[in-house]
Amino acid sequence: MYEGVSFIPMTWTDMLYLAPELSLAVIFLLLIVLDLFLPKRVSRLSIGWLTFAGLLVSLGLVIWRIADMNQAGAEAEAIHLLSNSYRIDDFGSLLKIVFLTGTALIVLLGLGSVREDEAITDKGEFFYLLLPAVIGAMILSSSGNLITLYIGLELLSLTSYVLVGMRRKSSLSAEAAFKYLVTGGISSAFVLFGMSYIYGVTGSVDLAVIAAALPGAIVNFKALVYVGYFFMLAGFGIKIAAAPFHAWAPDVYQGAPSPVSAFLAVIAKGAALAVLFRVTFNTLLIAANGGDATVSDDIFFALLVLAAAAMLAGTATALRQKNAKRLLALSGVANAGYMLVPIGISITVVHSSNFSEFVYYLVAYLFMTVGAFAVLTVVSRAAGHEELKAFSGMYYRAPWTAAAMVVFVLSLAGLPVSGGFFGKLFILLGAANAKAYWLVAIIVVSSVISYYFYFGLVRQMFMRSGSDDRELRVSGAAGVVIWLCAIVTIALGLFPGPLMSGIDAVFSIRYDLLFG
């Protein structure tokens, strides 16, 4: 029996701690019943609005919990549930805020685009399936052992497979769903196989126990420890679409509905990165302090190699890309590389702000990517295709929407007065402080390469004349998403300090990640 621990029933206090996840689960079940009994003549967009409201309720509960836990400052200890299989800490809560905010924006974008997409036959299902997907992401961010982690991973993955194939009248969507199912299954198999080795050499699935047992396991089963961690790294590399595990991303993003592509680019990717952050720091850092640091150093170095490969492959492959959605998919590959850097450089004497750098860039990436997908949704619906030439002459048809897209492009390229600029700058300075100068060079080179294809979009909008001179129509919901994302992107570029200070004020590596 696992750890010799008998079954421990949940208390009402435990249920209160799990209120954000449980509220979404209850709303999901209610919406399924509502969708079954609503007359066909009633618009399913009402389900979308209820989904949006449910996400806001869950977001409010997470914010209330993080405020309650930090009344005494960042030194508040984590709350352990279900024999430490689930943790309520600032690490998980901050990431849940990001995931819920991003999903709410994606639902709002769907409300502005799904109504006119005739290929999506089950419009209510499109909205409420996002709830179990984001619950999976929330479970991943709070997992305290490998079993809980895998449950969250599969919940997120299985619902994502269905969401990718929601455009049932589109052959591209069916192809994308099949490819995502196959690659996702391979990814899950790699992760599970790696977990089995870690369990075999440590005798536990609890991250804290693994950390304590790992120094001894390295002495006796060093090769098997490498196998376990590298298989897990490969599995999560597929999930975050980091090179050389990224080949599925352009096809899947192209075939999926645009809001679902945005969900995969931000929420699914962010959840997998959160798991990598927690597993590597929770186990390998402590193991390195307990004895032979060779294995720990090698795995962190492998993360940096994966980051470098993602940055270079993503930007180089995007140079010849003519499809806007595939371009954003490859941009996501490069951005996965940037977000892997704070994880891979580990903690040094002169650098310990890894989590702040990671979350800041994830927040900036959320708003600039969701905003870019929102503009693409509007443009592709008007043009009838998703090629870059659909943006031709956009400045003359919708000048304010074109201006918003320029903001997103500046941020994706990492240029000043944008959130993406400071996000990349903080990561670059962190790598420099850790003396990973070769990685600093790759960050700079990949950013410079990306200017070519990002500004290809600007060139299309301002320097090309389109075949359609009609004014570009932007729905109210899509317009709210576009401008909210643009305003936050600019605000992060003008005032980066408040967000960084806010993260540092509540997060403690010692209490929220390592020993909490």
R_g of the chain, CA atoms, integer Å: 22
Residue 281 to residue 88: CA distance in whole angstroms: 17
Residue 193 to residue 146: CA distance in whole angstroms: 12
CB 35 within 8 A of CB 115: no
In the chain, where the domains are located: 2-514
Report which of residues 332 and 169 the model is more confident about: 332
Element (H, E) at 87: strand 86-88
Q: Considering only CA atoms, which of 209, 263, 332 is closest in space to residue 100? A: 263
**pLDDT tens per residue, range 38-91:** 887 777 788 999 999 999 999 999 999 998 887 755 566 788 888 888 999 899
**pLDDT tens per residue, range 311-333:** 999 999 999 899 999 999 999 99
CB 304 within 8 A of CB 312: no
Q: What is the 3-state secondary structure (H, E, C) of 218-244?
A: HHHHHHHHHHHHHHHHHHHHHHCCCCC
| Long-range Cβ contacts of 421-425 (<8 Å, 24+ apart) | 421/493, 422/360, 422/364, 422/492, 422/493, 422/496, 423/338, 423/357, 423/360, 423/361, 423/364, 423/365, 423/492, 424/338, 424/361
Mean per-residue pLDDT of the chain? 89
**Best-predicted range by mean pLDDT (38-52, 354-368, 470-484):** 354-368
Residue 184 to residue 241: CA distance in whole angstroms: 11
Residue 443 to residue 428: CA distance in whole angstroms: 7
At 509 the pLDDT is 79
Lowest mean pLDDT among 28-32, 67-71, 187-191, 369-373: 67-71
pLDDT at residue 8 above 70?
Answer: no
Residue 40 to residue 37: CA distance in whole angstroms: 9
Residue 73 to residue 75: CA distance in whole angstroms: 5
Please report which confidence band the pLDDT of residue 469 belongs to, taking 50, 70 and 90 as the band edges. low
* Ramachandran area for residue 165 (φ above 0: left; ψ -120 to 50: alpha; else beta): alpha
Using DSSP, state whether 516 is helix, strand or coil: coil
**pLDDT tens per residue, range 335-351:** 999 999 999 988 765 66
